[in-house]
Each structure stands twice: as structure tokens, then as C-alpha cells.
Amino acid sequence: MEGEGECSDNLFTSVMTLTKMRVPHVPQRYVLPPSQRPNLTLDLTTTLPIIDLSTLHHASQRSLTLDTIQGACKELGFFQVVNHGIPLPVIHDALAAATEFFNLSLEEKMSLLSDNVHNPVRYGTSLNHASDKVHYWRDFIKHYSHPISDWIHLWPSNPPSYKDKMGNYAKAVQVLHKQLMEAILETLGLNFGNLQKEIEEGNQLMAINCYPACPEPDLTLGMPPHSDYGTLTVLLQSGPGLQLQDNKKKWLSVPFVEGALLVQLGDQIEVMSNGQYKSVVHQVTLSAENKRLSIASLHSLPINKKIGPAPELVDEQHPVSYNEFSFRDFLNYISSNDIADKRFIDSIKKSV
């Protein structure tokens, strides 16, 4: 189990440690200004799109399914998928591996501690514990995962089953990502073949998150409002807690559906579509009673691949709206900027 108290590395304290200490209040460094605090009473009955991916393989249903995907991408930048081809045992094993990792001793996890966003494997808390002005109620481990043979030797060796269980899930999500990208590009009228090589050779970053029960969930967040940098994020969650912002800036709570996976459009899709599709702004709320785990598989084109608006989607009525950027540009940006203050994509939008 975790030791109590703070560690010498930048006075690092994980939220798992705070939970073990049974702190009655969140420390001041986690308290958000009133205007940034979450609304925990949002209506969970909001209907958000759930798409049966098996229908993509039936000629009679494919067109209707693509229309549904297109509508979800335009309206929300988000949808859930079922019948996605990843067996429930693989999903449950990945969540079990995450649980086992976060239950390790603090000393064991500290060997992976880093605040360098370029590190291929790193454990941490908040967004970046060394630089965050306000801290967020989250512990995480992140690691590159594709091609898995290049990275898996760097992953945690403890718990012993971690590489096997998380590796099986990572490989399955990589296959799903390719299928989703093919469908989404088709809805934009773009040729998948033109980007197939970059998609197949692109980056996959697994962000495994632990959001312990929080004594004052109305004062803080697990993650602040942000959008993801890549093409798509495929998210597995163990329970509710994700909120997303619709195109009217209204927050919606995402219900938990057993076995479903959440698909979130990232900044690279927004740029590629020249703004037809938007990357979804989302945040993570907390519970006073329940711990929540999530496994975010963040996909992007290769790290140095510059992406700009697709030429097919640019004309006099729709001029180029974004500058080109790469995943490396994003990493450099977050090394010196706080994404809680300004989204990366706002830094590459062309002025009208």
C-alpha cells in the first residue's frame, strides 16, 4: 500500500496517498475558483449517440451508420460505440491491470515518476505536478504503445500481468482506431488511402487514469476542460464522470454503458476537416463515494507529420482556417503552456 506523506521529488503527493490518509478536505492547491467548479447535478438522461459498429459491415446499413457518425462528428465531436470487436474479457483485464498498478506501493511507482512530457513512460499526478498552478485530482501512467514491440519493454514490470493485459487491449484499440478513421474520413469525402500509411504508422499513447473518491468533489476536477491533440481518442471508463461541452457551450454528462467505448475527436481531425468537425472539449468530475478508472488511447499521425486542412475541403467559401501542426508541436506547446489556460488548437487558428 502507499506510504503516507509527501515525497522529496517536488514535494510530490499522489491523490491515492491523500485518499489513504483519509483527508477530510481537499488541500487548497486543488480548490478551483468558483467560476471553474463543476456542476455535479447535470441531467444524465441526455441522449448521446451510441453507434453499433457491426452495421458498417452490412451494405444495407452502412450508409445510414455513416450518416449517424457524420452527425455526431459535426454536432458533438463525440459518440459511443458498441459491437466494436474488442471482447469484454480484454476490456476487464485492462481495467484490472490498471487497478493493480495504482494499488502498488508509492515507492514502486515513483521509479516511473517524471514531469517531462517527452518521456515514453511516465507516472504522475494532476496534469504536470511540477508546474500546475492548480492541481487536479488524478494519478496517471502514460506510455507509448504502437508499434507495441518498440515500447512494451519500457512499460511497468509490476504488476507482472500488466504488459500482457494492457498490451492485448492496446493492440485491439489500434485496430479499432483504423476502422474508425476510415469511416470518419469517408464521411468527409476524403480518401482513406491517402492517409493510410500515416494512420498505420502513427502514434498511440495510452493514458491510464485513476480518479480516487474525493472528499469535496464540488470544489475540484479530475481534469480541466480541454480537447485532445490527435486524430481520435478511444476511451474506456469504469463508471460515469466524463462531461463534454456541446456546440452551445453547455456541459453534458456522459452516461456509463457497460462494454461501450467512447470516441472523442481530437485537434488533428478538426484541422484536417478545416473546421467542419470540432475536437470535443471535455472535463472529468469526481465522486465522494467511488473511484473511477479510465484508459484513454490517444491516437495521432506520426510525431513529426505536419497536418493541415485537407485541400479537398478548402475553397473560396471555406478558406484555410488553421496553420499546420504536428504532435511534436503540441508536446513543445504543453511543455511551456498550461492547457487549462488556453487550448493548443486556439494557438494555430488563423485570424479571420
* pLDDT (0 to 100) of residue 44: 61
- Determine contact, residues 211/291, Cβ cutoff 8 Å: yes
- Determine contact, residues 237/293, Cβ cutoff 8 Å: yes
- Binned average pLDDT, 10 residues per bin, the chain of 352 residues: 36 86 93 91 75 92 95 95 96 97 92 86 83 88 94 95 97 96 95 87 95 96 92 96 90 91 95 94 94 96 90 92 88 76 83 66
Cell numbers describing residue 333: 506547446
Q: Quick one: three-class SS letters along the chain? A: CCCCCCCCHHHCCCHHHHHHCCCCCCCHHHCCCHHHCCCCCCCCCCCCCEEEHHHHHCHHHHHHHHHHHHHHHHHCCEEEEECCCCCHHHHHHHHHHHHHHHCCCHHHHHCCECCCCCCCEEEEECCCCCCCCCCCCCEEEEEECCCHHHHHHHCCCCCCCHHHHHHHHHHHHHHHHHHHHHHHHHHCCCCHHHHHHHHHCCEEEEEEEEECCCCCCCCCCCEEEECCCCCEEEEEECCCCEEEECCCCCEEECCCCCCCEEEEECHHHHHHCCCCCCCCCEEECCCCCCCEEEEEEEEECCCCCCECCCHHHCCCCCCCCECCECHHHHHHHHHHCCCCCCCHHHHCECCC
* Spans of all domains in the chain: 43-347
The pTM score is 0.90
* pLDDT (0 to 100) of residue 6: 35
| Cα(217)–Cα(265) distance, integer angstroms | 27
| Cα(243)–Cα(293) distance, integer angstroms | 15
- CATH number, domain 43-347, options 1.10.3720.10, 2.60.120.330, 3.20.20.10, 3.40.50.620: 2.60.120.330
* pLDDT (0 to 100) of residue 332: 84
Give the other-Cβ count within 10 Å of 336's Cβ: 7
